[in-house]
Amino acid sequence: RIAEEEISFLVGISHGSVHAIVTKHLLYRKICAQWVQRQLMEEQNTQRMAVSLGHLQRYHEEEYAFLSLIATGDETWCHYFEPESKRQSQQWKHVNSPPPKKSKALHTSSDKVMMTFFFDCKGPLLVEFLEHGATISAQRCDDTLRAIKSKRPGMLSNGIVLLHDNARSHTANSVRNTLQRSGWEVLQHPPYSPDLSPCDFHIFEDLKRGIRGHRFASDEDVCNWVKTWFRRQPTSFFKDGIDRLISQWDKCINSFGDYF
């Protein structure tokens, strides 16, 4: 496997000339192996559009005061080893060549750690790791909400707008009661919409990109690396994640509710 830049250096011609020769004369094209998201049904597209439109309208009315109240979070697996990324697996293939196959890493139940992460425009609110054998229960979600309250006590006077997915543990009665007692508003989030979740389209995407290529020997190694990674991110990184909601909602509407 060789990159255009390497060919340009070895042959002594410009990058543009290399690209023209490879694509127009040799008839090669770049293929990016990727995992396809589930196909949405028409009613799901409609719901995604409606939710995005409602949030955009509220943003235009309240402006940044709306975004500044949003606290969002989700869970993700942190593996002892992550395989090469979609972009790293790109390669030049002839038009008549079969597409490349991307193999998944053979993870076992003991070589990964479940992380729960919440943040707002000011930075991380919670970085928590699940013990092996434990599950994301309603009680754990309850404890998570209380931990967030203690992290940003000043937010309680202005109210918190919580953005999280519709997992069963997130919508349990005990969790709803905690939210109601706290006076928190839950921002509507359509099902199967990682592209509308800042954790998925911003935080976890960058985290997984950074962790690729590292090999860890224990849960502690993984947790320490992840915590260090978060500490190294500037406040602007987290603010950008919240700000990107505006463009994501807009893209969803322009895509008629489909993935974009």
Question: What's the confidence (pLDDT) of residue 231?
Answer: 96
In this structure, what DSSP letter does residue 169 have?
Answer: G
Residue carrying the six token digits 């999280």: 164
Closest CA to 191 of 59, 37, 35: 37
Maximum C-alpha span of the chain: 69
Helix axes 173-182, 138-151, angle to 10 degrees: 20
The amino acid present at 35, given as its one-letter code, is W
Tell me the average pLDDT across 115-120.
94
Do residues 70 and 187 make contact, with C-beta atoms less than 8 angstroms apart? yes
**Domain edges within the chain:** 41-84+105-254
The tens digit of pLDDT for each residue in 70-104 reads 999 999 999 998 765 555 555 566 656 666 655 45
Contact 71, 208 (CB under 8 A): no
Q: For the stretch 197-214, what's the b/e string if a residue is b when 16 or more beta carbons lie within 10 angstroms of its beta carbon?
A: bbbbbbbbeebeeebeee
Question: How confident is the model at residue 33, as a pLDDT?
Answer: 38
CATH assignment, 41-84+105-254: 3.30.420.10
Q: How confident is the model at residue 18 (pLDDT cuts 50, 70, 90)?
A: confident
The predicted model gives 159-187 an average pLDDT of: 75
Backbone angle region of 11, left / alpha / beta, with phi > 0 → left and psi within -120 to 50 → alpha: alpha
Left if phi > 0, otherwise alpha if psi is -120 to 50, otherwise beta: which for 172? Answer: beta
pTM of the predicted structure, to 2 decimals: 0.72
Separation CA 104–CA 220 (nearest Å): 24
